[in-house]
Amino acid sequence: MKHLYDVPAPAKLNLFLHVTGRREDGYHLLQTVFVFIDLADRLQFELRNDGVICRQTSLPGIDHDSDLIVRAARALQKATGTAKGATIQVQKNIPAGGGLGGGSSDAASTLIALNRLWQTGLSRWELQQLALPLGADVPVFVFGQNTFAEGIGEAFTACRVPGHAYLVFQPRLGIPTPAIFTDPDLCRNTPLVTVQDVQQSLSLPISEASSLSQPAFFGHNDLEAVACRQHPGLQQLVDWLDVRQVKARMTGSGACFFAPFNSYEDALQVGHELEVALPAFNQGASVPVERIIAARGLVRHP
């Protein structure tokens, strides 16, 4: 029996994100494609037999009991009745408030790892049910495959995404998700697309219009217009990239943007060119760019 688990918690990107309606409880109905990338937090779980959940190195501003990792561990304890506990260490690499799902991914990796460490034997589907009350984005990280998602983001159809690479632009700005979803200007009636539309668009060859071997984007992100209106500095970033023929899109409710590339080498090369030009952009920017991250798409994660 293993006493120690060390697992990655990868970030996600939303290749597109359409808001197609709103439920009575205020949550929004979405259509989106989640892809996972190799930018990841690392979590380590050590078995305890006293039932205590001890989260070391906590995040600034988040108390122990409201930490999503702790809440995920307690939800699994409650669902299974196990008397076991864990000491948990986290190495954060995914920026918070970026639309990259870092907190949700940590919670999902906690459910998966502790289910193994405690030998509680829940199926992935059962873990997904435990995940949803923790946050709308947690179940997809338990699902663990690139997917077309519907509902509030919890109904999945796994889809094949080519082995793209990405540049992720991290602005010096964190956006709280509710600030975007509650904005009266948010478009909430984007027409539905089918999974066939999505799958076909993902298998299309490189856009001929692109000079940077960037794949064409499907759809759009309805949350992007709202985020750019609330934070005009984000639109400045999009325009700056556009002038350099880099088509970027926001992920989730922001504030990070990403640009897809057909190969990691292309992403690295363009990333280097942008790094050189970045100080000049940042000097005049109301929202400077903190980091440009080159990442590979993952086919599957634990």
Alpha-carbon gap, residue 204 to 220, rounded angstroms: 17
Could you please report the per-residue DSSP string of 138-156? HHHHHH-B-EEEETTTTEE
Count of beta carbons in the 10 Å neighbourhood of residue 2: 9
Closest distance between ligand C5P and the C-beta of residue 96, in Å? 13
User: By C-beta, is 174 or 178 nearer to ligand C5P?
Assistant: 178
User: By C-beta, is 225 or 285 nearer to ligand C5P?
Assistant: 225
Kindly state whether residue 135 participates in binding ligand C5P, applying the rule CB under 6 A: yes
Residues in the interface with ligand C5P (CB under 6 A) total 12
Q: Determine which one of 12, 41, 67, 222 is catalytic.
A: 12
Q: How many CA atoms lie within 13 A of 165 on its CB side?
A: 18
Kindly state whether residue 174 participates in binding ligand C5P, applying the rule CB under 6 A: no
Q: How many CA atoms lie within 13 A of 17 on its CB side?
A: 27
Which one among 44, 82, 177, 213 touches ligand C5P, defined by CB under 6 A?
177
Which one among 143, 181, 240, 258 touches ligand C5P, defined by CB under 6 A?
181
Q: Does residue 276 sit in helix, strand or coil?
A: helix
**Residues sharing a CB contact under 8 Å with residue 281, sequence separation 6 or more, in sequence order:** 237, 240, 288, 289
* Annotation marks residue 63 as catalytic: no
Alpha-carbon gap, residue 50 to 16, rounded angstroms: 45
**Residues sharing a CB contact under 8 Å with residue 188, sequence separation 6 or more, in sequence order:** 19, 20, 21, 22, 28, 222
Kindly state whether residue 67 participates in binding ligand C5P, applying the rule CB under 6 A: no
Q: With beta carbons less than 8 A apart as the criterion, state whether 238 and 259 touch.
A: no
User: By C-beta, is 133 or 302 nearer to ligand C5P?
Assistant: 133
Kindly state whether residue 266 participates in binding ligand C5P, applying the rule CB under 6 A: no
Closest distance between ligand C5P and the C-beta of residue 39, in Å? 19
Beta strand 147-150 pairing with 85-91: unpaired
Closest CA to 141 of 117, 93, 105, 181: 105
Q: Which stretch binds ligand C5P (CB under 6 A): 49-57, 115-123, 132-140, 202-210?
A: 132-140
Q: Which stretch binds ligand C5P (CB under 6 A): 25-33, 48-56, 114-122, 213-221?
A: 25-33
Q: Which stretch binds ligand C5P (CB under 6 A): 81-89, 134-142, 236-244, 262-270?
A: 134-142
Which one among 27, 217, 218, 281 touches ligand C5P, defined by CB under 6 A?
27
Which one among 152, 186, 268, 285 touches ligand C5P, defined by CB under 6 A?
152
Kindly state whether residue 30 participates in binding ligand C5P, applying the rule CB under 6 A: yes
Give residues 73-92 in contact with ligand C5P (rule: CB under 6 A): none
* Annotation marks residue 12 as catalytic: yes
Alpha-carbon gap, residue 150 to 32, rounded angstroms: 7
Alpha-carbon gap, residue 258 to 261, rounded angstroms: 10
Kindly state whether residue 71 participates in binding ligand C5P, applying the rule CB under 6 A: no
Which one among 8, 85, 144, 153 touches ligand C5P, defined by CB under 6 A?
153
Kindly state whether residue 28 participates in binding ligand C5P, applying the rule CB under 6 A: yes
Amino acid found at 114? L
Contact residues: ligand C5P, CB under 6 A:
26-28, 30, 135-137, 152-153, 177-178, 181
Active-site residues, by number, are 12, 137
